[in-house]
Amino acid sequence: MPTESISAMIEEVRAGGLTARAAVTAAVNAAERLNDPLNAFLQIDRDGAVQRAAAIDENKSTTQPLRGVPIAVKDNLCVIGMQTSCGSKILGDYQAPYNATVIERLIQAGAIIIGKTNCDEFAMGSSNENSAFGPVKNPWDVTRVPGGSSGGSAAAVAAGIVPAALGSDTGGSVRQPASLCGVVGLKPTYGRNSRYGLVAFASSLDQVGIFTRSVGDAAMVLSVIAGRDQLDATTADVPVPNYTTDLTKEVKGLRLGFPRRLFGAGLDSEVRVAVESAMDAYRELGVEIVDVELPHAKYAIAVYYIIATAEASSNLARFDGVRYGFRAEEANELRSMYRRTRDEGFGPEVKRRIMLGTYVLSAGYYEAYYHKAQQVRTLLREDFRKAFESCDAIITPTAPTPAFAIGEKTDDPLAMYLNDIYTVTANLAGVPGMSVPCGLSAEGLPIGLQLLGPYWSEPTLFQLGDAYERARPFTVRPPIHA
């Protein structure tokens, strides 16, 4: 059985009780064995991963912080020697010629990438049903979605295959599946991590995020991957602390903002009760709960689906059948080659978003939609700035409901978009957010709470998340588990 916690695994590897090879082999075995029910992996690199682990075992002298830790990576991050399909037929088995910076940093830290995880096509979706390679199943109930778009990474951690996985979060694509699968999911501050080698969806919103079993493990991984990168001009020159140092610091006296109005219509009553009960746990720890207002949060989905689709329509213009990936065969003229390649290569949700983005940017509509959305984005950022004058972090549900059934929302894109109501605000404002498991529904499905903080407040989020974990440990495991 694979080890669930990074810290425990590293201790075992250091003490000599566990080799990297054994840890990685256990993870690869579990990934292969559970891929039939879960469909979490699109590629499992057994030979490569075991070889790299053996090389780590050879090299005794190293002090690498993630030595021998098996990690799964969403299939929209470039890893040399593996495919990068983005869950899309248009890229298929595309092999990237370079590593993403976050991958390079994981490798330098001794981590072993064991494979690429399934996701919604180009990270567009909240259920994983938009993957060209079939949906991922939720390990808690295989008739339900794992959330999206990083559903494969969430399921891989939830099922105990790997102790950590990377995803990308543009509107909640790490936090929402973390919530639906009962694991920790972090989206750092915009500019905290490099996106070099992350296939772009919406560049002013995209951020690489982390799935782990515990808050402490997320802090360990962020300490490794965060920081300025010359290859990504959006990374900020802000020092990277060791995020594990202050993890267990007392939370007494911290103030947690409660945006009461977001706990109303559309929120499942079990989710509301679970998050309110978590607020009680914080009160018992000496955290002060204060009312805050985010007056423009209710417009966040509308703003998001203008800005994200506009950016996507530009970013996805590069997929034209010329330089890489799929090309439609029968076209005998350039323009029709582009159009057929994109028609056959992209799935319906990607086409829908490209068209919506093209529409909101087109002549005559730009002012009414795109410009207006960017103005409301400014107002939303102001809301957060003001709210954080009176609190250290804000608590909300991560998702309005527990995991829903596969097929339940596929015919209604708008209903699907509303899943992201609590998560998109953080991407629009650029602030960090983290989902932490906070209970199970009557049907036995995980519920997550979300903590949002000011820019660069990841240490506070970790501190609050870790304190909650210790006060209310989440120890249940899903029926499908390694």
Partner 1 sequence: MPINESDIEKIAQLAHLEITPEELQIFAPQITDIVAYVEQLNEIDTHGVAPALGGLTPAGEATDSTRPDEVRPSLGQRTALAEAPDAKAGHFRVPKILN
Residues identified as active-site = 74, 149, 173
Q: Write out the H or E segment, with its range, that includes residue 22.
A: helix 20-38
| Measured distance CA(289)–CA(324) in Å, rounded | 52
Q: How far is the CB of 407 from partner 1 (least distance, A)?
A: 16
Is beta strand 184-187 parallel, antiparallel or unpaired with respect to 164-169?
unpaired
Helices (H), 214-289: 215-225, 269-284
CA-CA distance, 107 to 461, in Å (whole number)? 26
- Of 261, 327, 472, 481, the one binding partner 1 (CB under 8 A) is 327
Applying CB under 8 A, among 19, 277, 288, 413 the residue interacting with partner 1 is 413
Smallest gap, in angstroms, from Cβ of residue 187 to partner 1? Answer: 12
Exactly one of 94, 263, 270, 472 binds partner 1 (CB under 8 A); that residue is 94
Shortest Å, Cβ 336 to partner 1: 8
Q: Considering only residues 416-475, where is the footprint of partner 1 by CB under 8 A?
A: 417, 427, 430, 455-456
Q: Answer yes or no: are the C-beta atoms of 52 and 69 closer than 8 Å.
A: no
CA distances 375 to 72, 299, 356, 378, 430, Å, are 38, 12, 19, 5, 15
75 token code pair: 């299939």
If the CB atoms of residues 23 and 300 are measured against partner 1, the closer one turns out to be 300
Sites for partner 1 among residues 96-115 (CB under 8 A) = 97-98
Q: Is 129:410 a contact under the CB 8 Å cutoff? A: yes
Q: Is 410 in the site for partner 1 (CB under 8 A)?
A: no
State yes or no: residue 95 binds partner 1 (CB under 8 A): yes
Would you say how long the chain is, in residues?
A: 482
> DSSP string spanning 134-190?
-PPPBTTBTTB---SSSHHHHHHHHTTS-SEEEEEESSSTTHHHHHHHTSEEEEPPT
Q: How far is the CB of 363 from partner 1 (least distance, A)?
A: 10
| Choice between 35 and 427, CB closer to partner 1 | 427
Residue 398 — φ and ψ, nearest 5°? -85, -45
CB 279 within 8 A of CB 254: no
Looking at beta carbons only, is 203 or 277 nearer to partner 1?
203
Q: Does position 143 bind partner 1 by CB under 8 A?
A: no
Binders in 10-69 for partner 1, by CB under 8 A: none
**Is position 305 an interface residue for partner 1 (rule: CB under 8 A)?**
yes
Q: What is the pattern of x (binds partner 1, CB under 8 A) and - over residues 222-241?
A: ------x-x--xxxxxx---
Q: How far is CA 478 from the centre of its chain?
A: 20
Given 324, 471, 472, 477, the residue binding partner 1 (CB under 8 A): 324
Q: Which position has the token pair 């772009």?
A: 200
Single residue of 33, 260, 318, 371 touching partner 1 by CB under 8 A: 371
Q: ∠ CA(169), CA(77), CA(152), 5° rounding?
A: 65
Q: Does residue 388 bind partner 1 (CB under 8 A)?
A: no
Number of residues forming the site for partner 1 (CB under 8 A): 76
Return the residues of window 239-268 that contact partner 1 according to CB under 8 A: none
Per CB under 8 A, which region of 34-42, 49-57, 108-116, 375-383 contacts partner 1? 375-383
CA dist 113 to 43, 185, 229, 231, Å? 11, 19, 21, 22
Instruction: Select the span of 102-110, 131-139, 356-364, 398-406 touching partner 1 (CB under 8 A).
Output: 356-364
Tokens of residue 227, six digits:
């920081």
For partner 1, which is the closer residue by CB, 37 or 295? 295
Rule CB under 8 A: which of 198-227 touch partner 1? 203-205
x/- track of binding to partner 1 for residues 159-188 (CB under 8 A):
------------------------------
**Under the criterion CB under 8 A, does residue 299 sit at the interface with partner 1?**
yes
- Residue 325 lies near partner 1 (rule: CB under 8 A): yes
- Pick the closer one to partner 1 by CB: 270 or 408: 408
Asked if residue 79 lies in contact with residue 99, where contact means CB atoms within 8 angstroms, the answer is yes
CA dist., res. 430 & res. 432, Å (int): 7
Stretch that binds partner 1, among 46-54, 93-101, 109-117, 434-442 (CB under 8 A): 93-101
